[in-house]
A and B are shown apart, each in its own frame.
Chain A
């Protein structure tokens, strides 16, 4: 087994709202990210991705559990491992009145890097010509690129990117994804937090899916897709069939030609469930599985399985 770059055990984070309610953001999260490659951190908005990242980086204190980065307990040993970690958390955060170059110079000098390192980082993200413009004049894409340039000041071994393609145009998205892939191929471990399924499927080697602060699945992207199959089901009475299938623990989506059933069960089980209810198939065919179907299945199951969390999360 390869060395784990990120490891959390039973990680918890709860917030107390002003009304006194307890909001559970992360619950007993076990996260394991091996060294090398690009690891997707996938979950819907509000699932606890950013909170987890903020805890790993020492910006937020966990309520319970333990975390390790490069085998070191954090946040206690964070100063020792932070020089190896580049991170963009949520939106880029810089002083709006400083130029892009000034913002990077301050960060580089804080870690004892030469000013020339700033020029290299700016060149890597194609911001050389605009580095003396004020940050507030940057487009969202330029801000994202500057944030990535900031992570490269350290020459990191671990890159944590939280929704790095948010707000970018298609060319910018492609550029960032290529940069991420290149970094992964060069031996940098990248944790890519995203709610864009296609992005994770395209860019990542492995992924962890979370929902409601819990880990739902983790592994290589190919393996994750393989754990679930989607079947197209044709029946004369879709409503009754959907009720029977949901009752049987399958995830059902309606479509024009019938029903799409996301399940880990065999075709025979689907047939039996419907036949026991007096519904007979006109079509049963496998649909090519993708991460989206896995994601939807897992997050829907999580919602059903942890309905009591919903109120707490609101």
Chain B
């Protein structure tokens, strides 16, 4: 516990960590503000303007129809029979509604679970993974890790204390930020009288809890990778390769059947308590199944197992390496 306290203090004193933690608050706050702004209720002025647009359109249109009736040959409509009807059919716009000019969607709390809510979890995972990476990377880059081992030579304890510190901070930060984010959205929904069922809020709560665990695993994995590579830059390179290039390359090489084994698919399965993903091999040829026939379900258990095995491999490799290899 003493070492964990020391590592928490070291983490707190690191300026880069402070900046990244500030990012964990500011960027989700920005996402929240953007969401609230984009879904703000339509004002009376906006309705008035939309109605004006519709009235102007109708006026312009009627003028066009009148001109068409007067000179049908110039507008390519038959000059005999029901000329007015033909002009209206050609240039009329039917029953245009002013709501068509109010394209802003109102706030739907339930939809945000898989929208901005997932976005915030992803942002937290990215920031806190960087926290784990820079925390370990700085110790290697400065060489201070060897100094620390002169005071506590039990390497497993040193590795573990740092991992617990990173994990604890990540869990607390992600829980606090996600709770605050959804609480702030609940306040907005209440103010706008947007209804969301108790079941919806239960789904959101569970997603946020599982999301916090995913964020914590990401941070510990970032830390463990850096303890293995002994370099922040190398770890960031590997993370970028896996997150971006690796996923694209995997789909390109192995086809869309590999989607089940991609990290985002399994993260989504954990956060959303199951996830439907595109699987071209799954009943795609059966016409009776319909447009969703190519979708396959990945359950919470399978997603959790996948992530747990992945993190366990990274942690195992990191601990083994740290215990066996010479420390510069």
A residues with a Cβ closer than 8 A to B are 54, 57-61, 75, 78-79, 82, 85-87, 89, 91, 93-98, 102-103, 105-107, 109-112, 150, 153-154
CB <8 Å contact, B146 and A59? yes
A residues within 8 A CB of B147?
A: 93-94, 107, 150
Select B327's contact among A60, A107, A111, A150, beta carbons within 8 Å. A60
Which 6 A-B pairs have CB atoms at the shortest separation, nearest pair first? A93-B143, A60-B326, A78-B153, A58-B153, A59-B327, A110-B151
- State whether B13 touches A98 (Cβ < 8 A): yes
Instruction: Please indicate the chain B residues that have their CB under 8 angstroms from the CB of A95 in the complex.
Output: 10, 138-139, 142, 144
Nearest-neighbour CB distance to chain A for B233, whole angstroms, equals 17
Q: Is the interface of A mostly helix, strand, loop or mixed?
A: loop
Asked whether B6 is an interface residue with its Cβ less than 8 Å from the other chain, the reply is yes
Take A89-B146, A106-B6 as given contacts and tell me if A97 and B152 are in contact as well, using a CB distance cutoff of 8 Å. no
On B, residues with C-beta under 8 Å from A are: 2-3, 5-6, 9-10, 13-15, 138-139, 142-144, 146-154, 324, 326-327
Cα A54 to Cα B13 with chains together (Å): 29
Q: Is the CB of A112 within 8 A of B144?
A: no
Smallest Cβ distance from A134 to chain B, in angstroms?
10
Q: Do residues A96 and B142 form an inter-chain contact, with CB atoms below 8 A?
A: yes
| Residues on B with beta carbons closer than 8 Å to the beta carbon of A61 | 324, 326
Residues A59 and B149 in contact, CB atoms below 8 Å apart = yes
Within the assembled complex, what's the spacing in Å between the Cα atoms of A200 and B6? 38
Q: Are A106's CB and B10's CB within 8 A?
A: yes
Instruction: Give A97 to B153 CA distance when docked, in angstroms.
Output: 24
C-alpha spacing A115/B68, complex, angstroms: 93
Chief secondary structure at chain B's binding surface: helix
A59 to chain B, nearest CB (A): 5
Residue of B with least CB distance to A136: B142
Cβ A87 vs Cβ B150 within 8 A:
yes
From residue A150, how far is it (CB to closest CB) to chain B in Å?
Answer: 7
Q: Would you call B14 and A97 a contact (CB within 8 A)?
A: yes
Complex CA distance for A304 and B234, rounded to whole angstroms: 43
| Apart from A60-B327, A75-B153, A102-B13, 6 more pairs, CB < 8 Å | A57-B149, A58-B149, A58-B153, A59-B150, A91-B143, A97-B14
Of the candidates B143, B146, B152, B154, which one forms a contact with A111 in the assembled complex, judged by CB atoms under 8 Å apart? B152
B-chain residues with CB within 8 Å of residue A153 when the two chains form the complex = 151
CA distance A49 to B151 in the complex (A): 21
The answer to whether A94 and B144 have CB atoms under 8 Å apart is yes
Q: How far is the CA of A58 from the CA of B324 in the complex (A)?
A: 11
Residues on B with C-beta less than 8 A from A107 are 147-148, 151
A110 close to B148 (CB less than 8 A) = yes
Interface contact B6-A59, CB-CB below 8 Å: no
A295 CB to closest chain B CB, in angstroms? 28
Residues on the A chain within 8 Å of B15, using CB: 97
Q: Which residues of A contact B326 (CB under 8 A)?
A: 54, 59-61
Closest to B150 in A: A87
Docked Cα-Cα span, A150 to B13, in Å, equals 19
| A residues in contact with B143, CB < 8 Å | 91, 93
Nearest chain A CB to B138 CB, angstrom units: 7
Tell which of A96, A109, A110 has the most Cβ of chain B within 10 Å: A110
Residue of A nearest to B328 (CB): A59
| Most-contacted residue by chain B among A79, A86, A106, A153 (CB, 10 A) | A106
Give the residues in chain A near B151, CB-CB below 8 Å: 82, 107, 110-111, 153-154
Q: Once the chains are docked, how many angstroms separate the CA of A94 from the CA of B148?
A: 9
Verify B153–A106 contact, CB threshold 8 A.
Answer: no
Min CB–CB distance B317 → chain A (angstroms): 18
Write 28 A-B pairs (CB below 8 A) sorted by A numbering. A59-B149, A61-B324, A75-B153, A78-B153, A79-B152, A79-B153, A79-B154, A82-B150, A82-B151, A82-B153, A85-B150, A86-B150, A87-B150, A89-B150, A93-B144, A94-B144, A95-B10, A95-B138, A96-B142, A106-B6, A106-B10, A106-B148, A107-B148, A107-B151, A109-B5, A110-B151, A111-B152, A112-B2
